[in-house]
Structure 1
Amino acid sequence: MPFFKDISKASDDALGDDYTSKVSSKMKTKAGPVGVTCETTRVSKDKISLLSKLSFKWAGPSGFSVDKLQLKDNGSHVLETSLVGAAGNPNLKFTFKGDDSQKGDLGVEYSKGMLGLTAEMDIIELKKVSASALVTKGDLAFGGNGTFKMAGSSVDKFSLGASYSSGPIFAALTTDKFAGANLGLMYKVNGDLSLATSSSHSADKPLDSVTIGCVYNAPVGVVKAKCTSGGVASAVLVKDVAKKVTVTPSLQVKNGDIKNASFGFGVVMG
């Protein structure tokens, strides 16, 4: 985990990845040197319709790449680019993330050895600057991030966190302005089964919310299941049905109401 944003990635991925309540498909291919991805989602409101977005990716010369040029389903555009190895330093990376709704963030990332640093500035509206730092030493990692509002010259938010990973055990603790804390845990029981939890804590609510889940490598595919303290139970199967074709049927039940359970189905090709 070279950067602070990934400090709790292990438990977050176990409880968050692959779950869906939508019916969608994603197709990946290449047009020469350009990677092309088309994502289509079925939307059911007054009537059923399909919404699609198209993304392009291109690795250019001298470390420059277009990481995402996306045409979204509402007609707007997103552009993300990066430049690696600027000033002859392979550990340095510049990024730009913008769209056509007054968003334009210029960022820089630096990672070497046990240190990972990031900084990002809103160069369109000049509203905020954010930065993060992470130090990794053996099984431990600790760091923090913060956002500074340029209008009013005040700290908008900041977080501190630490993680521990050794053998089958992973734990991460992060705070938000010291007003509350989030704890993520994961334990690998064996090569096929992992257990994970996520919980939020504060002085007003010592145990605000809890999510408990598992990941199991079953003969039929990867099975994930989780339940929350709010009474929501979810399950998903990640199954490779052919070469470069993965399906993810999912189920969500709220407060034991099986009759009104919601279903999702995803397909990824390429």
Structure 2
Amino acid sequence: MNDPATATFVAHRNLLFTVAYEMLGSAADAEDVLQETWLRWVEVDPAGVRDQRAYLVRITTRLSLNRLRTMKRRKEAYVGPWLPEPLLTTPDVAEDVELAESVSMALMLVLETLAPTERAVFVLREVFDVGYEEIAAAVGKTPAAVRQIAHRARRHVDARRPREVVSARETRAVLESFRRAVEGRDLDGLLAVLAPDVVLMSDGGGLKQAALRPVTGAAKVGRFIFGGVGRTEEELTSVPAVVNGNPALLLHLDGTLDGIMAVRVEGGRITGLYYVRNPEKLTRVAAETPLTLR
């Protein structure tokens, strides 16, 4: 790889993908942003760029912001709840607690409640520890304005993010109890692992059957799971996996991948269930996707 521009882009590609994915919640859109970033980058003389990493992050951020605004219209027309596109991730992502939390389904959904610029500022500052001056250049604001946006976004996210950090070991144990209850059609066992106020969100995108609104409460979630996910006429099996840096399940019906179930665990029980069934969002679970904060 003799071309310096190509070598630099490849060296930072995983970082740029992670930035775009955390801003967009869509791997497909993140890949499009990376392609556009590359096209912009090859028009630049790398020798004239003092901090090439910062420059690439700035391009990626600007392009992601533009795409985020267009995605808003797409999401408004989406059938049912919109969940982030899940990624099968490498073991090092799960080992990095900060990274694993930042790409968890629970936090990614919180980021969906931020305005586009707030999301960009939060991701760059809180996740990637980018300086205010660099963020200002990326989002077209003054450093003082960026500080205010960062404070507002942090307060918004802190009020909605999980209240406790749960270890991967505890999450796996709770998820295993959930798996045994679902596969064994054990309603009492399922209710024992669900928090009373558990919320289930299912994303079929209009292509697969899913609840059009969040399902709230252990009893209702249990009925939904055994009336939908665990239908008696089809054999349900599940495979533990690491999705978005956190323990999850790949659910199969009659041997075919039906969806991905991610969870939010608090106090030893499941408080959030996120079931992605939309086949267009299940293309990134055949191979691991490398993510990085650096």
TM-score calculated relative to the size of structure 1:
0.23
Give 1 or 2: higher helix fraction.
Answer: 2
| Greater percentage in strand | 1
TM-score (norm: length of structure 2):
0.22
Higher relative contact order (CA 8 A, sep 6+): 2
